[in-house]
Amino acid sequence: MNPISRRNILAVGAAGGLLAASSAAMGQTSPQLPQPSRAAGVGGNVPGPRDITRDRENPDMLNPPSTDQGTLPNLRFSFADAHTKQSDGGWTRQVTQRELGISTTLAGVEMRLDAGSIRELHWHKQAEWAYMLYGTARITAIDQDGNNFVDDVGVGDLWYFPGGVPHSIQGLGPDGCEFLLVFDDGSFDEDDTFLITDWFKRIPQEVLGKNFGVSGDNFAHLPDPSQRYIFKSEVPGPLGPDRLRGAKPVPLTFKHQLMAQDPIRTKGGTVRIADSSVFKASKNIAVALVEIEPGGMRELHWHPNVDEWQYYIEGQARMGVFAAQGAARTFDYRAGDVGYVPFAMGHYIENTGNTPVRFLEMFRSSYYADLSLDQWMALTPPQLLRAHFPLDQTVMDSLHKKKYPVVPA
C-alpha cells in the first residue's frame, strides 16, 4: 500500500499552511507587527521565533528609546507570571526577591478570600502593610500589651501590622475580597509564617492541656494544618459583637482610610501620601498612591532615602530610569505588574494609554520623600544653571519653585 494516503496528504497540506502562516508571522510580512527598529539602518526585523503578545505589551523593551544605554537589572515582574497557590477558600501569589532579583527591600503578595473565607490566625517576622483592591474584609489583631483590634476594611483602605503581631483576615459578603500585601523584606516568603494550627499540631497534648488548664484529651482531634492557611467559613455577623466587651483597643489603629485623604491635585493627576505622619502605626512602610491622566507623567524625580517598590493597579505606563554613569533603561507596565527603582536613581512614569494610570509607590521607611528635578532647577541660581545648559528664557520662566508631582500632557 502506498504509505502516502489521502489523509496523509491533507495533514501535510494543513501543516504546510500552518508553517507558512508561522513563517509569514516570523518573517514580519505584516506591517502591523512590532519591529525592533527606530529608523533606517538601526535595528531590524525578527525572522525567528517570538512572542508577539509580549512584544506588543513591552514596546520599550523591543524598541527602546535612543536615550537608553548601558545595562540595568530587570526592574519589572508581573503577578501574572507568579505561581498561584490555591485553596478551597481562595488563592495567593507572590513577587519576592526570588522572582524579581533587584527587589531586596520589599516583597508583595496578592491574596483573594471568598466570602467568609479566613486567612488563618498567624504572625510573621516581617511587618505587613496592605491595600484593599476589591470587596471588604474583617481584620483582627492584638498587641504585646493585650490590646485588641477588630475592624472592617474596604476598597482603598490600608492596614499595617508590625512584625510579630498576631492577626487574621476574613472575607465579608457578598463576594469576599482581594488585597495586596507588602512586607518589609525582599526575601519574605508567604509560606514562611507562624500558623496557629501548625503550632498546635507541634505541641504534645499534655502540654496543651497544662497550658490551658484542661485535660489534654480536648486536643486529640486537631485539624490538619494543610487544610487551613486559607479556608472556608461562615460570613461573620455585624462588627459590634466582634469588638469584645472589656477588651482595650490598641493605642494606634492598624487601619487607615487612604481614599479619605485630600490628595495633592495637579492638572495631570493626584497623589495621596500615607506614612507615619498620618498613619501612625505604619512605622516601617510609607506609600504614595499616584493617579495619572492620559498623556500625563509622574515628574522627573528621585527618592533620597530608600528603594522604591511599585504596584500597578490599572492602566498602562512606561518608566524611564537613570542609573548614572551614562546608563538608562525604559520599562513598560500594566495592571498587576511590579516595578522597582533602586535607591536615588532618577526616573519618570508616563501614562501611555487612553485611560488613567493608578499605581502605588512603596518604601521601607517611616516617611515619604522625593526630590523634583524641576524644583531643584528652579531653586538654583539662574547663572549657575545657565553655566550647565544653554537654556533660553522660556525654559527658565517655566521652572517651578513649588513641586508638581504629576504633570499634564
Residue 406's pLDDT band, with cuts at 50, 70 and 90, is: very high
What pLDDT shows up at residue 320?
A: 98
Q: Are residues 320 and 375 in the same domain?
A: yes
Q: Are residues 139 and 152 in the same domain?
A: yes
**Confidence bin at 224 (pLDDT 50/70/90):** confident
Domain span at 132: 77-256
Count of domains in the chain? 2
**Is the residue at 60 inside a domain?**
no
Residue 122 lies in a domain: yes
Q: Residue 301, annotated ligand binder? A: yes
Average pLDDT over every residue of 159-171: 98
**More confidently predicted of 44 and 299:** 299
Q: Are residues 170 and 284 in the same domain?
A: no
- Is 40 part of a structural domain of the chain? no
Least reliable range by pLDDT among 3-17, 25-39, 300-314: 3-17
What pLDDT sits at residue 244?
84
Residue 144 placed within a domain: yes
pLDDT at position 329 over 50 = yes
167 marked ligand binding residue? yes
More confident residue, 38 or 202: 202
> Are residues 138 and 230 located together in one domain of the fold?
yes
Region of poorest pLDDT, from 4-18, 68-82, 94-108, 258-272? 4-18
User: Could you give the count of Cα atoms lying within 13 Å of 108 in the half-sphere of its Cβ?
Assistant: 28
Per-residue pLDDT at 356 exceeds 80: yes
Within this chain, do residues 124 and 163 fall inside the same structural domain, yes or no? yes
> What is the band of 252 on the pLDDT scale with cuts at 50, 70, 90?
very high
The domain boundary residue, chosen from 224, 256, 288: 256
- What is the Cα Rg of the chain in Å? 27
Domain closes at, from 206, 223, 256: 256
Q: Does 357 reside within a domain?
A: yes
Query: Would the annotation count 291 as a binding residue?
Result: no
Same-domain pairing of 156 and 189: yes
Do 95 and 228 share a structural domain?
Answer: yes
Establish whether 128 is an annotated binding residue: yes
275/378 same-domain check = yes
Mean pLDDT rounded to a whole number for the chain: 92
User: Of 207, 239, 256, at which residue does a domain stop?
Assistant: 256
- The residues carrying an active-site annotation are 361
CATH (domain of 149):
2.60.120.10
323 and 197 housed in the same domain: no
| Percent of the chain predicted with pLDDT > 90 | 85
Give domain status of residue 361, yes or no. Answer: yes
> What pLDDT shows up at residue 30?
56
One domain for residues 303 and 213: no
Position 11 pLDDT exceeds 70:
no
Is 221 marked within a binding site?
Answer: no
Whether 225 maps to a domain, the answer reads yes
Indicate the pLDDT class of residue 228, thresholds 50, 70 and 90: confident
Rounded to an integer, the average pLDDT of 359-380 is 98
The answer to whether 303 is a known ligand-binding residue is yes
Res. 238: pLDDT tops 70: yes
More confident residue, 19 or 236: 236
- C-alpha dist (Å) from residue 296 to 61, 165, 183, 267, 311: 21, 40, 30, 9, 18
How much is the pTM?
0.90
Contact 236, 138 (CB under 8 A): yes
Q: Please check whether residues 278 and 229 belong to one and the same domain.
A: no
99 in a labelled binding site: no
83 is in an annotated binding site: no
195 and 141 co-located in one domain: yes
- Specify if 65 maps to a domain: no
pLDDT at 408: 97
Contact indicator for 182, 107 with CB cutoff of 8 Å: yes
- pLDDT-derived band at 14 (thresholds 50, 70, 90) equals very low
